[in-house]
Amino acid sequence: MQCPKCGAMLTALSVEDVTVDKCQSCDGIWLDHGELEKLRETGVQGIEKQLEEEYGNPAAPMLALEGYLRCPHCVEIGLRTNYVSYMQPVKMDHCIQCFGMWLDKNELDKLLEDKKQLDNVKVDKGMRAMLAGIAKRFSK
Ligand SMILES: [Zn+2]
Ligand SMILES: [Zn+2]
């Protein structure tokens, strides 16, 4: 597959049992449908940094790009900008046909960080509910 932004060939890299396609030229990452959820479930943080340290940035073959921001998977379909969010909106470009998504440099890590913040909020709520329960019991 080809990078929808700069035309370099994407490299398949595996992280936490998920295979992501990374552009070694502009550091964007392509995720197939469902891969973001899988990565989020692992709770792993700083994937982009991890990939950088593990694989470095080898030069990728550059090919002429036909049309800006087309789905690397479906080719004919243009990607649409969208915002995904748990806590704060993060921009991504997604394909309405295969539901894959393109994340520019740092956007994946932002999304994972965003999920972590949400989980922390959930934990806080759970803790508060538990403490409230205990307080009730003692007040009787
Ligand atoms: Zn690229
Ligand atoms: Zn597609």
Local confidence band at 140 (pLDDT 50, 70, 90 cut-offs)? low
Residue bearing tokens 């370099």: 8
Q: What is the pLDDT of residues 83-133, one digit of tens each?
A: 987 788 899 999 999 999 999 999 999 999 888 888 888 888 888 888 888
Residue ranges per structural domain of the chain:
10-138
Helix 35-42 and helix 107-139, axial crossing angle in degrees, nearest 10 = 50
**Ligand 2: distance of its center to the CA of 40 in Å?**
21
**Ligand 1: distance of its center to the CA of 23 in Å?**
5
The neighbourhood of ligand 1, an ion, using CB within 5 A, equals: 3, 5-6, 8, 23, 25-26
The neighbourhood of ligand 2, an ion, using CB within 5 A, equals: 71, 73-74, 95, 97-98
Q: What is the pLDDT of residues 45-89, one digit of tens each?
A: 999 999 999 888 888 888 888 888 999 999 889 999 999 877 888
Q: State how far the Cα of 48 lies from the Cα of 50, in Å rounded to an integer.
A: 5
**Ligand 2: distance of its center to the CA of 128 in Å?**
43
The predicted model scores a pTM of 0.84
**Ligand 2: distance of its center to the CA of 125 in Å?**
38
- Taking the chain, what is the end-to-end CA distance rounded to the nearest angstrom? 65
**Ligand 2: distance of its center to the CA of 95 in Å?**
5
**Ligand 2: distance of its center to the CA of 75 in Å?**
7
Residue 53 makes CB contacts below 8 A (sequence gap 6+) with none
Give, in degrees to the nearest 5, the angle at Cα 115 between 102 and 95: 20
**Ligand 1: distance of its center to the CA of 110 in Å?**
18
